[in-house]
A and B are shown apart, each in its own frame.
Chain A
């Protein structure tokens, strides 16, 4: 894949040295670039500003004329309300997301190893068939999927969502892992083979120990994706047993009278875990992005 060709797990390719034609021209260009960059930052951060100020406003403070102003009296009531409305569903989100991220990463790692470094005739076709699963609109399988999950007697909520995130996570985890293992020198695997190591032995003692960066990328990717999922949540859970995205949507769109203070505090709360991951492990997050991966 051409996008996948870009993946460097480090995420950073050395930048080209600055070149320019003449000093004056360089300075104006630089000014224009910086101005544009700062405008971009303002545009991107407008929704964040709104979320923050509204989440600290008391209900009476929310009149349209003061829509963009800072709160008159800062209050934590919205945050408390959002916390009590969302906390149980956030716990369920963790219960769903952690096991499904781990299981699908392990499967992806095994697949990626076989498809790249213990290959066989037709491996490319198998890979393409697995990859196609990443692109299908899930709407095209949703009806029989719900029937299948019911017939298998898997309860709605956490158990069925774990299953679905594992299954539909396989294509992307396989892709990321395979692209990482392609960069592993052939000689390493060949040396193990010459020493008489079998497939599993080679995987265990040669491949797995050097897989940590790719595991971080895949785990983060699956964690964020599953945490942010809404489609499967709508079809396979209810507000009583569903993840935080569903609870947030009910909180924001459930009542006739919109309480924007609470829902915006809730939106921030629900975004906190993936944002934390992004801030701390941003480099690996970008690594997952660049492997041609997609959201939703």
Chain B
């Protein structure tokens, strides 16, 4: 009885959120999976006018066998690798620059961070222009800028390249999120006690040794958090690709785009299957991370 009186009120206060999460997250994930294992491929079935039959994992097997979806997965990997590498490197360099207190530091920080406040759709408008694929006489955007500064050989078709086009879309993503990585690293740098650096210097450590043996290990957990957070954003990328390229463009297609196109063509089963594939990819990264951070917090 006493236990219920203790647990009851807080649970009651949490109830609206718990119910909403149970329905909108876990219930819908289950419902989505249920749709993905049927032969619900037509508008008539999607609207319930015709029955659907359970076909178990046939949709997944078929999907993973098609060149089309393999291409989407390849694009997703390429995009994520370029995006993560770029944002981590830029973010770290900026944090390293601003780590020591200096004049104007606050202004630099605000400028590096401001792209975070802008929507991918709005930045997509300007990046679509910057990444214009015309070269030489017709070039505008970055290709024209390369000509102006005498780096003509750098001109390239950007996102219209058939194999590596998706990597060009990672550039605006890097532009937008490096500031966030910087903010994380900066907090990490500031969290390292001065005594640690002093002690290392007293022991005669060189600047490189200081970083290698003292600062990098201290920053490792932050780097992991940053990787996981922007990594899962990268896997869900949709807005930026839609606004720079278009949904139908083969060279910039990723699973999130496939899901959208399949739903629009009333192929609910395959659309749901793509959604589940994405969920599995994200969960493989996120669940161990949540478990790890929780344990760390408990042990504090």
Interface residues of A (CB under 8 A from B): 1-6, 13-19, 21, 30, 33-34, 36-37, 40-41, 43-47, 50-51, 54, 64-65, 67-68, 107, 110-111, 113-115, 118-121, 123-124, 126, 128-133, 135-148, 167-168, 170-171, 174, 198-200, 224, 227-231, 234-235, 245, 248-249, 252-253, 260, 263-264, 266-268, 270-271, 274-275, 277-278, 282, 285-286, 289-290, 292, 294-296
Judged by DSSP, the binding face of B is: helix
The verdict on B55 contacting chain A, using a C-beta distance below 8 Å, is no
Query: What are 29 inter-chain pairs, A to B, with CB distance below 8 A?
Result: A1-B225, A3-B229, A15-B100, A16-B190, A16-B194, A40-B93, A43-B175, A50-B130, A54-B129, A64-B144, A118-B9, A120-B10, A128-B294, A136-B29, A136-B283, A139-B238, A139-B274, A140-B29, A142-B271, A174-B17, A228-B119, A230-B242, A249-B242, A252-B243, A263-B125, A274-B118, A278-B116, A294-B229, A294-B233
Interface residues of B (CB under 8 A from A): 6-7, 9-11, 13-14, 16-18, 20-21, 23-26, 28-29, 31-32, 35, 90, 93-94, 97-98, 100-102, 104, 108, 110-130, 134, 137-141, 144-145, 148, 175, 177, 179-180, 183-184, 187-188, 190-192, 194, 197-198, 201, 221-222, 224-226, 229, 232-233, 235-239, 242-243, 246, 255-256, 259-260, 263, 268, 271-272, 274-276, 278-279, 282-283, 286-287, 290, 293-294, 296-298
The answer to whether B119 touches A264, judged by C-beta atoms less than 8 angstroms apart, is no
Which of A36, A114, A130, A249 contacts B121, CB < 8 Å? Answer: A249
Chain A residue at minimal CB-CB distance from B7: A120
The answer to whether B275 touches A290, judged by C-beta atoms less than 8 angstroms apart, is no
Nearest CB on A from B150, distance (A): 14
Chain B residue at minimal CB-CB distance from A199: B9
Q: Which residues of B contact A263 (CB under 8 A)?
A: 125
Which of B112, B141, B296 contacts A67, CB < 8 Å? Answer: B141
Nearest CB on A from B236, distance (A): 5
Q: Which residues of B contact A234 (CB under 8 A)?
A: 242, 260
Complex Cα gap A113–B17 (Å): 13
Nearest CB on A from B72, distance (A): 12
Nearest CB on A from B19, distance (A): 10
The answer to whether B118 touches A3, judged by C-beta atoms less than 8 angstroms apart, is no
Q: Which residues of B contact A19 (CB under 8 A)?
A: 194, 197-198, 201
Q: Which residues of B contact A17 (CB under 8 A)?
A: 101, 194
The answer to whether B296 touches A131, judged by C-beta atoms less than 8 angstroms apart, is no
Nearest CB on A from B289, distance (A): 9
Q: Which residues of B contact A168 (CB under 8 A)?
A: 24
CB-CB under 8 A for A130 and B9, given A47-B123, A141-B29, A292-B229: no
CB-CB under 8 A for A264 and B184, given A16-B194, A170-B21, A249-B243: no
Complex Cα gap A44–B93 (Å): 14
The answer to whether A140 touches B275, judged by C-beta atoms less than 8 angstroms apart, is yes
Judged by DSSP, the binding face of A is: helix
Complex Cα gap A201–B18 (Å): 22
The answer to whether A51 touches B126, judged by C-beta atoms less than 8 angstroms apart, is yes
Which of B10, B126, B190, B290 contacts A132, CB < 8 Å? Answer: B290
Q: Which residues of B contact A290 (CB under 8 A)?
A: 183-184, 187
Complex Cα gap A235–B123 (Å): 21
Complex Cα gap A50–B124 (Å): 13
CB-CB under 8 A for A270 and B122, given A130-B21, A145-B24, A285-B117: yes
Chain A residue at minimal CB-CB distance from B9: A199
CB-CB under 8 A for A137 and B121, given A2-B225, A50-B130: no
The answer to whether B102 touches A30, judged by C-beta atoms less than 8 angstroms apart, is yes
The answer to whether B16 touches A107, judged by C-beta atoms less than 8 angstroms apart, is yes
The answer to whether A253 touches B238, judged by C-beta atoms less than 8 angstroms apart, is no
New A-B pairs, 12, CB < 8 Å, besides A115-B14, A290-B187 = A1-B294, A14-B190, A16-B192, A34-B102, A37-B97, A41-B108, A67-B141, A107-B17, A139-B238, A227-B119, A248-B125, A252-B128
Complex Cα gap A113–B9 (Å): 12
The answer to whether A140 touches B279, judged by C-beta atoms less than 8 angstroms apart, is yes
Which of B98, B100, B125, B278 contacts A266, CB < 8 Å? Answer: B125
